[in-house]
Structure 1
């Protein structure tokens, strides 16, 4: 077994980004992949196919592609998880910092390539932040583990959290702690899988700003696996497009975004700044809002178009009957010291039939707690929660499931049987619902999973799993359907499939509530937005009202969709919510320049 030599300095010296295409291998490669193929046990085709890829030292690389394109499998070869942990048929070679990953162990490679998982909470195994960050250097016997710990905490601006318990952290803080634990081993490369999937927009941007700082100031090569093209365009220096187990190309970010149609075809939607500047005929598309505004201003129409359709203007007098209500609800959790940390404070809400409600706010604002109170999984410490006229204190959660269905953020938690059909049938069969078999077949057709009905739900792609969990919820025939982050970690096709199904629920579900950080979903689907902040309702508005009031977004740490931010900077009123609405205010090129129907 080869021993990895110690890194001569805490961080490698930055090198200038090569002027040639990143995939040419010029400059100083830190990762070199040659003729790599890999097949998981029990499968009949290679997951990775003849991959050749070079990543230069000091690059900030976004690895993109649709669900199932093998992005994560490729990146797991950088730190040896493939093939040393996820074993299978491995051919070719991967070198990181000059070390052959086949000849080294995962432990040895951890000082070369650190990895922050998509489910980063599972990486936190020690009680306090200081213990967590120090655990790696201690396990490797580094005498300077204290210095390494303080250095990593300072780099990410979280030294003030050193004595906090990890379970007290917000999602954004926990993500930074997982990253700090990786940095304490002083790797040359840091791989971050879906860094923003479970974070509110403001904390997501903070993560990327920290990664950019590590890249620019310390020369660390950063590799992110990402679906959010807005962050890719603004922060990445190069982009690897994966499809069917191999790179399609590896290009500087400007060239990659100029190929927006090809990205769209592979499940990566063009950011609004890109699609709109392409629509007005820009030779080089804008990569962010600030650069898009001056490019679009000369193309504003002299006469404004008709006002946008009133998607979201139903007032209280036009609402349907009350499906659920909360009165004087207070709830909180005991800390390790025994005091009560409030999560929801004196909450009064009515949810009405026919409403599509988006529940938004920062990590820790109380969104998931509110949903669990509505299901009866928890009862409030004080106050009353009523669902279809039933006090949740008077019924068990199992009995309330006849009226309300809650779909977890992580779909794997919804799969209890060995096939999708059996999971969808579990509730109606257990309740001996008349016509249960016909109901299951109807639901399978409704969510488009007839051909996958005999598959184990845990073996499906991310988008298929989301459809299956919606099927489980629909089979319960609830009056109130609650969905926690239904579009996180999905590529554009899967995300649009889920949004399409949500749109079609009106004839099945009386009221749907979605807790989400996805502001595009909020803008295009919701009829009502409830903004939670520090346990209270900060605003109860329509999407257009929300994004037209920057003071609410700032206080709740929301980031409106790019189109709304661009329109606000251009002074357009009423505020367009989508690129399609904003495009109506612009003199554009031929409609063939439209990006996937989004602009």
Structure 2
């Protein structure tokens, strides 16, 4: 018997017109490390909530079929019984943190199960995830990455045989994302924990997972080994799922879809050696920030702190100076806790600096109410549902214009609805839309305010790759809708393709201000800030070739090198014969 058996399960939420799962069957063996792929709304999360009994005991609905987990039939078992076997880290992991201090939260589950050694279990779990020594810290003092690891510690404190993690890297910087996956790998290999991840990032799947499941339209399409699954290029693309960049590049150059294609960096380095790519020395390039154009924001030697519960101050920003000019498209990058979101909130006037000054179009934010800058700055939150206050998208887009008594606003609203392709869903409540639809709607609401400056906090987080690409296209259009745009993001592909200026932060300070060449050519900077370039860039660096910012650039360069080798070889052979 498999550790997990799902037999012909169909499930439909109350009020839904179609099932979220349709005749799904799946077996998972003990010790597997399996990824579940699929677009937003394909049924991935619903499938996983079957395994710990949340469906149908908490999320009710019409259900058919059978689910057996660790020899327990979930329809007949209590969630408390199943939780001893199945740990779960949710996509909104911060909602799992229920106690004030780190050790209290990590040991909360074993305490509630009545284990006398609950504190030891909590400490052991903290050590496993790399949070040893953080016992007495308050959870709000942790960075986003540390909070994610704490949620993981709480899930493994009961030592479950099965661990489910919904989108492990969605809100994490590359450094913390790798750290979390390394913990999952250790649990899988050293403790034989069966790991199930819902994942959009195929680069992580190829590096860490053993098997992969593809879902689409509420159905399970197939379960295959990672190599076989990720080399089915055309089938994945048809479903808006993208294999690792190196796999796509190899396919584009050979047009052969088979299991010999590389799926990770070590394989790709060997694979592309035969292409004889020309070596190209690329020294670190000195940044040359653009100082032309009208000043939109002028930040002068700013410090910012907040008071902890101990009444001590925690410094978030240290002596930050920055000028934003008209025409800037800025990517604000750095690891979790670097100070990116705080810096953007200072630009809205919501937060005031402890020391120094923030000027928005020459108006000092000190002593001025934040609403005074509403015409000037729009802040689009990381969680887009926070932008919705009315019962329809159109009403939300109109809200600011109506409140400001803008004349003839209807024409502007219609233009924005078309610009962001919201015509079909304009009458729907934004809180009930899919993740990609919510992102589009939140961008539309921000643009409707007609600001000089648009600030976006992680606009592509929690989205499948196809939807991320779609949203990135809309972000490109923002340069025509505002004088300057700033995006705080961990999405390095978006950074490399969109930004004309990249600001790197670490520990509350700006450590670099330049363009993509100056950032991605500087390995010491990337390591210091915990940044990982897109995979195709990493490959070109490992091969010592010209730095490629996209798959298309790498493929074009590889084809050009091959033609040069062939051409040169032809004349050498001709000379020898002659």
Task: State the TM-score, normalized to the length of structure 2.
Answer: 0.93
Q: What's the offset of the Cα at 1:491?
A: 1.3
Q: Tell me, yes or no, if the aligned pair for 1:479 and 1:510 is still in contact at 8 Å.
A: yes
Q: What's the offset of the Cα at 1:44?
A: 1.3
User: 2:149 is paired with a residue of what secondary structure?
Assistant: helix
Partner residue in 1 for 2:517 = 544
Q: What's the offset of the Cα at 1:144?
A: 2.9
Q: Within 5 Å, give how 1:435-474 maps onto structure 2.
A: 435-474=408-447
Q: Tell me, yes or no, if the aligned pair for 1:405 and 1:481 is still in contact at 8 Å.
A: yes
In structure 1, distance between residues paired with 2:121 and 2:475: 48
Structure 1 position 288 matched with structure 2 position 275: no
Q: What's the offset of the Cα at 1:319?
A: 2.9
5+ unaligned residues in a row in structure 2: which ranges? Answer: 563-578
User: 2:366 is paired with a residue of what secondary structure?
Assistant: helix
Partner residue in 1 for 2:370 = 397
The one of 545, 558, 571 equivalent to 1:586 is 558
- Which deviates more, 271-280 or 353-362? 271-280
Q: Within 5 Å, give how 1:270-309 maps onto structure 2.
A: 270-281=243-254, 283=258, 284-301=260-277
In structure 2, distance between residues paired with 1:103 and 1:269: 39
Q: Tell me, yes or no, if the aligned pair for 1:134 and 1:146 is still in contact at 8 Å.
A: yes
Partner residue in 2 for 1:479 = 452
What is the CA deviation profile of residues 267-299 of structure 1, one whole-angstrom value per residue up to 9, with x for unaligned ones? 322211211222343742222212211211221
Structure 1 position 97 matched with structure 2 position 73: no
Q: Residues 303 and 89 (structure 1 numbering): CA distance in 2 closer, same or farther, change over 3 Å? A: same
In structure 1, distance between residues paired with 2:452 and 2:262: 45
Q: Residues 427 and 360 (structure 1 numbering): CA distance in 2 closer, same or farther, change over 3 Å? A: same
The one of 527, 534, 544 equivalent to 2:500 is 527
Q: Within 5 Å, give how 1:15-414 maps onto structure 2.
A: 29-281=2-254, 283=258, 284-301=260-277, 316=289, 319-414=292-387
In structure 1, distance between residues paired with 2:303 and 2:68: 55
Q: Tell me, yes or no, if the aligned pair for 1:280 and 1:299 is still in contact at 8 Å.
A: no
What is the CA deviation profile of residues 525-563 of structure 1, one whole-angstrom value per residue up to 9, with x for unaligned ones? 111100011111110011122011000001000011111
Q: What's the offset of the Cα at 1:439?
A: 1.4
In structure 2, distance between residues paired with 1:332 and 1:268: 42
Partner residue in 2 for 1:577 = 549
- Which deviates more, 194-203 or 495-504? 495-504
In structure 2, distance between residues paired with 1:455 and 1:200: 33
In structure 1, distance between residues paired with 2:151 and 2:217: 30
Aligned length: 556
What is the CA deviation profile of residues 233-256 of structure 1, one whole-angstrom value per residue up to 9, with x for unaligned ones? 111111010001111100010001
Q: Residues 53 and 46 (structure 1 numbering): CA distance in 2 closer, same or farther, change over 3 Å? A: same
In structure 2, distance between residues paired with 1:477 and 1:415: 17
User: 1:29 is paired with a residue of what secondary structure?
Assistant: coil
In structure 1, distance between residues paired with 2:511 and 2:286: 19
Q: Residues 578 and 300 (structure 1 numbering): CA distance in 2 closer, same or farther, change over 3 Å? A: farther
RMSD of aligned C-alpha atoms? Answer: 1.9
In structure 1, distance between residues paired with 2:361 and 2:414: 27
In structure 2, distance between residues paired with 1:562 and 1:416: 39
In structure 1, distance between residues paired with 2:51 and 2:155: 14
Q: Tell me, yes or no, if the aligned pair for 1:280 and 1:296 is still in contact at 8 Å.
A: no
User: 1:417 is paired with a residue of what secondary structure?
Assistant: coil
Q: Residues 394 and 141 (structure 1 numbering): CA distance in 2 closer, same or farther, change over 3 Å? A: closer
What is the CA deviation profile of residues 463-485 of structure 1, one whole-angstrom value per residue up to 9, with x for unaligned ones? 00000000000000000000000
In structure 2, distance between residues paired with 1:403 and 1:469: 17
Structure 1 position 425 matched with structure 2 position 398: yes
Q: Residues 317 and 266 (structure 1 numbering): CA distance in 2 closer, same or farther, change over 3 Å? A: closer
The one of 464, 467, 489 equivalent to 1:491 is 464
5+ unaligned residues in a row in structure 1: which ranges? Answer: 1-27, 591-599
Partner residue in 1 for 2:481 = 508
Q: Residues 527 and 314 (structure 1 numbering): CA distance in 2 closer, same or farther, change over 3 Å? A: farther
Q: Tell me, yes or no, if the aligned pair for 1:257 and 1:285 is still in contact at 8 Å.
A: no
What is the CA deviation profile of residues 303-350 of structure 1, one whole-angstrom value per residue up to 9, with x for unaligned ones? 98xx9xxxx999556732111110111111112222211111111111
Q: Residues 94 and 354 (structure 1 numbering): CA distance in 2 closer, same or farther, change over 3 Å? A: same
Q: Tell me, yes or no, if the aligned pair for 1:300 and 1:587 is still in contact at 8 Å.
A: no
Q: Tell me, yes or no, if the aligned pair for 1:300 and 1:585 is still in contact at 8 Å.
A: no
